[in-house]
Amino acid sequence: MAQNNPTWHGPFSLENDVVNRELDLYLKQKNVKDPLIGAYVYGEKDLNQKISPVYIGRSDSDLRQEIKSRHTTDRKFKSCTHFWYCVLDSEEEAYAVESKYYHMGYKLNDKHPKKPDNNDTVKCPVPGCEYHE
């Protein structure tokens, strides 16, 4: 079952040593190991120094690597200063969370989330979406 309200952690500074520190802390607290499945949000500061979410992503295979590599390999994220993350139980849940937030309209997301590899039956949870049925 897709979670309606994932537990988000953050915002934290979007630096790779901070990503490692926070994910290490999570692993220790939950007594689990990498790799984690989950979703993440990048944020940037607006004119009032408020941190606003601007991009939603997910990883079905290694959340830590995804958070660290995505913002360093694509220049469109250069304004991003912070991140949040949530850990999820399955790639289906990660897809559902990513899709739900995608439909809220984050400015750096330009296309609908891809379905998990080898899982074409999973559906976007948002009614009216072309991937909902």
Contact flags string 11-50 toward Zn ion, x per CB under 5 A:
----------------------------------------
- Residue tagged 């490692």 (tokens): 20
For Zn ion, give the closer residue by CB, 11 or 125: 125
Distance CA 89, CA 38 (A): 8
| The pair of three-digit structure tokens given for residue 17, joined into one six-digit string | 């040593």
Bridge partners of 37, per DSSP, are 88
For Zn ion, give the closer residue by CB, 17 or 133: 133
- Residue tagged 């995804």 (tokens): 66
| The pair of three-digit structure tokens given for residue 70, joined into one six-digit string | 């995505």
Neighbours of 74 (CB within 10 A): 12
For Zn ion, give the closer residue by CB, 27 or 126: 126
Contact flags string 98-117 toward Zn ion, x per CB under 5 A:
-x------------------
Residue 123 touching Zn ion (CB under 5 A):
no
Binding site for Zn ion (CB under 5 A): 99, 124, 126, 129, 131
